Amino acid sequence: MKRPFSMVGMRSFDEIKADPMATVAEITALSNRFPGDGLRHPNCPAHIWWPLAATGMYWALLSPAGPLFILEDPARWERLELDEAESHIRWHLKQMKGRAQRLFAADCAEHVLHFFTEICPANTRLQEAIAMARTYAAGRCSKQALMQASNRVYEARAKVQGYLLAMRAADAVRFAAGESNISAAKDASEIAADVIGEHASSNAPKSNYGQRDVMRIEGKKRELRWQWHRLLDYLRGNP
């Protein structure tokens, strides 16, 4: 059954979708009713594509017009990723399989691991927990073994009391080895972003609270952008 008519030249949305030379007015009507179809239309103009890309960055990358628009304005695409990565990560994580969720959690935790190892280099419990999370994702260990590794991270965390970033890095690892795959991914991602944001803010004068907040937010966004790029590997099937 055909989709409803667009009221633009009385062509159906299916006809507009199938016509690579559809007019701007037709693509506008298509995008208003079916944003995904508008984004993927090969003749989608930039002024329509960019707002739609903000709501569907993964599909924007796959769209026919996407590579050209990004090539024309890479700074705008980078800014869009910085601003929108967090919400896209949250949405896509819910759609991913448990194995990918767990592996992504391990990636996020590992990305901030150095904040712990710089303070306590001889303690390998965090590395062991990350390895165990990946082993669990592969189906090669029990949940009990995973929980034991998570508990050992909690013990290791006590060794770095007073070092905020090291403690929070340990938290990211502990959650990455947590019981639920989706919670592990969500929590490890959030904590890792907070760690990087806090580290970024430490480069500002302690008395300049406004600058510290700006640098914290920007640092967090840059970590989330890194996570988004890592997540794209899983979405593309190339972890």
Whether 66 and 97 share a structural domain: no
Angle at 166 between CA 163 and CA 168, to 5 degrees: 105
Q: Which of 24, 44, 72 is the last residue of a domain?
A: 72
Which of 7-11, 98-102, 185-189 is the least confident region? 7-11
Q: Residue 4's pLDDT band (boundaries 50, 70, 90)?
A: low
2 pLDDT more than 90: no
203 pLDDT more than 90: no
Whether 100 and 185 share a structural domain: yes
Judge whether 34 lies within some domain.
yes
Instruction: Output the average pLDDT for the chain.
Output: 94
Predicted pLDDT at 9: 59
Judge whether 16 lies within some domain.
yes
Q: How many domains does the chain have?
A: 2
Mean pLDDT over 24-33 rounds to: 95
Whether 136 and 220 share a structural domain: yes
Q: Phi and psi of 12, rounded to 5°?
A: -75, 160
Read off the pLDDT of residues 164-200 as tens digits, 9 standing for 90 and up: 999 999 999 999 999 999 999 999 999 999 999 999 9
pTM beyond cutoff 0.85: yes
The letter for the amino acid at 114 is H
Q: Residue 7's pLDDT band (boundaries 50, 70, 90)?
A: low
Predicted pLDDT at 175: 97
Tokens of 158: 């006590």
Read off the pLDDT of residues 35-92 as tens digits, 9 standing for 90 and up: 999 999 999 999 999 999 999 999 999 999 999 999 999 999 999 999 999 999 999 9
Whether 119 and 202 share a structural domain: yes
Say how far apart CA 112 and CA 226 lie, in whole Å.
12
User: Residue 86 in contact with residue 197, Cβ under 8 Å?
Assistant: no
Whether 54 and 104 share a structural domain: no
Whether 56 and 127 share a structural domain: no
What three-state secondary structure class fits 12?
strand
Predicted pLDDT at 3: 54
162 pLDDT more than 60: yes
Q: Residue 116's pLDDT band (boundaries 50, 70, 90)?
A: very high
Mean pLDDT over 139-155 rounds to: 95
Judge whether 79 lies within some domain.
no
Q: Residue 239's pLDDT band (boundaries 50, 70, 90)?
A: confident
Whether 48 and 99 share a structural domain: no
Judge whether 86 lies within some domain.
no
- Taken in order 79, 53, 220, 131, the sign of the CA dihedral is negative
Whether 62 and 102 share a structural domain: no
Mean pLDDT over 16-25 rounds to: 95
Q: Residue 6's pLDDT band (boundaries 50, 70, 90)?
A: low
Looking up tokens 């995904």 gives: 36
The residue segments making up the domain with residue 61 are 1-72
